[in-house]
Amino acid sequence: MVDVAVMQFAPGQDKPENLRTLTTLVTEAAARGAKVAVAPEYAMFTAPRTDERIVESSESLDGEFVSGLRAIASKVGVHLVAGINEHLPGDDRISNTLVAFGPDGDLAATYRKLHLYDAFGYKESDVIRAGEIVAPETFEVDGLTFGLQTCYDLRFPEVTRRIVDAGADVLLLPAQWVPGPLKEDHWSTLVRARAIENTIYVVAADQSARTGAGASMIVDPMGVILASLGERVGTAVATVCAERIAEVREKNPALALRRFTVAEMSSVLPTRQCRE
């Protein structure tokens, strides 16, 4: 069994202040027993619009903010996952990246957002470069395997399925789920759907208002919401365990019964032919 925490707040444009807030939230989560603490997407720096300010805020994986995350994980003694704006040398765009640091201070896993938020009136691809399709990185805590995924990727079920195929028992999902008509309903529906169809836990940490829709939650493999934060800034903690996953998969062996696998689009789509 592992206690996990979602941490919900609204990061701003002051990176040191964001780091101070994270320190407070991680410390609170650890005091409540959490061994894994998940912060939102863009926890490093969030502006009202995804524009050149995001690029100017970016750092390398050994930058000041990221080093601060490493120090928090090491000092508090948790696995810490957070979204950063990663500088890409020689590119005028950045990577929307998740980093996971262990209590030993080592970088346990990274994830670079695959599907960019070019929807609902936004165009993330103007300043963000989509991540390369690579084997999902995971890390282990007390016998459970944790995988990473970001925000808009939630709308693409094959992304989660690849992570599950890589062995993940628990999906850690930082997000800045932008508020809007039906968006909150989409969020809760999709988070629960990814848990149910893959029979895994989903630990979804969203930004709070005004930059996010809130509703951070921890969902079990049957789609039951174990803990949630509503609109509040703070932490929510729940226990994830292998026994529950096994129990659900005995009742609903969907992974064992499936007849399809996930492949990269370029390798499976036929060439379209024009007809006169």
Q: Residue 210: is the preceding peptide bond cis (ω within 30°)? A: yes
Could you tell me how far CA 205 lies from the centroid of its own chain? 7
Structure tokens at 16: 């040191």
Could you list the active site residues?
Answer: 41, 113, 151
Alpha-carbon distance 51 to 159, whole Å? Answer: 26
Cα separation of 36 and 168, whole Å? Answer: 14
Residue 32 to residues 5, 35, 39, Cα–Cα distance (Å):
9, 9, 16
Residue length, the chain? 276
Q: Which of 237, 155, 152, 156 is nearest to 201 (CA)?
A: 237
Q: Which amino acid is at 184?
A: E
With contact defined as beta carbons under 8 Å apart, do 215 and 184 qualify? Answer: yes
DSSP state string for 67-81: HHHHHHHHHHTSEEE
Q: Name the E strands within 74-213.
A: 79-86, 95-101, 107-112, 138-141, 144-148, 170-175, 201-206
Q: 10 Å Cβ neighbour count for 118?
A: 13
